[in-house]
Amino acid sequence: MKKISTFLILLIISMSILFGQAKNFGIMLGTTYYNGDYNQFTPFNLPSVGAGILYAHDVSKLRTLRFQADYRLIKGPANHTFTSNLFNVGLILEQNFMPFSNYSSKKTFKSTPFFMIGGCFLFIPNTNSTVNLSIPVGLGFKYALSEATTLSVEWNYSITNTDIIDEPGIDVNNQKKEIKLTNDFFSFLGVTLRYNISYEDHLCSAYR
């Protein structure tokens, strides 16, 4: 209950700050996979769907703060079958390598790679724990399709504080494996499309 209350307080504060600024909404779609007790090293082992929605605010030409809610479907390898539904909600900071803007300017670029890091509340239904934490870290590349839309490709690796993502794991003999080697991690590779519904506020009235 304490974790949930803290989450709600942070959510209200974040929304009040972000929605008082520019209005950039986005959707994301891609693939996700897991690393943990049953898949410690193999990348893109049994990739599954990942999707989400976000609200982003450009703090400056170099930084973007976004509020994100996403869903990840995680599957275990064939000899340790399991399926977990993950729900992530939190804040992510994007640090651009170059000054970025959707508007033409001599001092900015319409495309740039970026680094990202954040903090999220991780919900895993049907497990012994209701709320956990994850820290997504990754890289991406964004491109301004127009003055209102931005397309980005990103990969991120979420570090968690829990070892229960693979809790429902079953071995080939239908016996639950009791392996507790390391905390679980999950990755996401996908695309994000953002639309700024207030972009006309930046246009000169003579061109409207």
Give the model's pLDDT for residue 179. Answer: 56
Do residues 152 and 188 lie in contact, with contact meaning Cβ atoms separated by under 8 Å?
Answer: no
With DSSP H G I counted as helix, E B as strand and the rest as coil, what are the percentages for the chain, rounded to 5? 15, 50, 35
Do residues 152 and 190 lie in contact, with contact meaning Cβ atoms separated by under 8 Å?
Answer: no
Lookup result for tokens 């397309």: 151
CATH number of the structural domain spanning residue 135: 2.40.160.20
Do residues 166 and 36 lie in contact, with contact meaning Cβ atoms separated by under 8 Å?
Answer: yes
Residues spanned by the domain of 199: 2-207
Give the model's pLDDT for residue 201. Answer: 60
Give the model's pLDDT for residue 208. Answer: 39
Closest CA to 15 of 89, 88, 69, 67: 67
pTM for the complete prediction?
Answer: 0.77
Instruction: Give the model confidence (pLDDT) of 70-91 as tens digits.
Output: 999 988 776 677 788 899 999 9
Cα separation of 190 and 94, whole Å? 16
Do residues 53 and 27 lie in contact, with contact meaning Cβ atoms separated by under 8 Å?
Answer: yes
Give the model's pLDDT for residue 79. Answer: 64
Give the model's pLDDT for residue 9. Answer: 52
Cα separation of 46 and 77, whole Å? 7
Residue-wise pLDDT tens for the chain (208 aa)?
A: 455 445 545 554 555 455 545 578 999 999 998 887 777 777 787 788 999 999 998 888 899 989 999 999 988 776 677 788 899 999 999 999 999 988 777 788 899 999 999 999 998 887 666 678 999 999 999 999 988 899 999 999 999 888 777 765 554 455 555 555 678 888 999 999 999 877 666 554 443 3
The SS3 assignment for 158 reads strand
Report the chain's terminal Cα–Cα distance, integer Å: 51
Question: How many Å is the Cα radius of gyration of the chain?
Answer: 19
> How many domains are there within the chain?
1
